Amino acid sequence: MDLIVARNREDLVAARRPGTVALVPTMGALHEGHRSLIRQARERADQVVVSIFVNPLQFGPNEDFSRYPRTFDDDLDVCRAEGVDVVFHPGVDDMYPPGRQVSVSAGQMGDVVEGEFRPGHFDGVLTVVLKLFNLVRPDLAVFGEKDAQQLALIRRMVADLDVPVEILGAPTVREPDGLAMSSRNRYLSAEERKVALGLSRALRAGAGRRTPDEIRTAAREELDRNPELKVEYLVLVDPRTFTEVKEPYEGVAVLAVAARVGGTRLIDNVTVTLT
């Protein structure tokens, strides 16, 4: 069956067919990381829907909404190659009709870590994700673990609001040298890309330690070797709440970092288990 491109709600309804539906929400500029999400969805569902929508609600006034990469024709080629059934590509007015007033609040977890540096970001993320759930009506949805706080908040929203969608996380896909794949990597010059590798090196250094303090210290020391990295945060957090873990701590934690390399902001994380 040929790939269907649905550009509005009516197209989306017409494209739906019986069986299990999986949704892969994206903002386009698809790369190998997105392909891994699609493949996981393909394994679980009869119909795979990929949404491509650059969501204005999740960008702050000084962020990169206007220059965020938009590569729709290339994205369609990726979707065809991966056996996607439907691409949902609405316009802003289709997603947010005039007069819209109600949004989803991310609550306390939306104000910490990434949310501290991007106020309102997660409100915008959860609002668009909930709208996509209501429009597509998927049985399951796949998100990347690279956006760990986003994934945690979507799971929280689904639980708190009784949304009947199974949420799956897919492991971070990395370049051979360790750089986490991101649509924003294309902004990096060759020299900036070398600098950006300091993020994954710092996470590996921290992950090799045994206590929260040792993990944070080792990761920070590695970051300090790269003064070109303008670090916004380095945290070791409980994956359920994104609050900092303290000594003593046992269980799974997320070591997360955000930094600017030139004009590009990058995030990355790894999961560690402390016993």
Annotated binding site for (R)-pantoate: 58, 150
Among the options 12, 21, 23, 34, which is catalytic? 34
16 by Cβ neighbours in 10 Å (0-12 / 13-18 / 19+) ranks as middle
Secondary structure of residue 67 in the 3-state scheme: coil
Annotated binding-site residues for ATP read 27-34, 144-147, 173, 181-184
- Residue 34 known to be catalytic: yes
The whole-angstrom separation of Cα 231 and Cα 40 is: 33
DSSP one-letter string for 147-215: SHHHHHHHHHHHHHTT---EEEEEPPPB-TTSPBP-GGGGG--HHHHHHHHHHHHHHHHHHT-SSHHHH
Annotated binding-site residues read 27-34, 58, 144-147, 150, 173, 181-184
Measured in whole angstroms, the distance separating CA 250 from the mean position of its chain's CA atoms is 26
5 by Cβ neighbours in 10 Å (0-12 / 13-18 / 19+) ranks as middle
The set of catalytic residues is 34
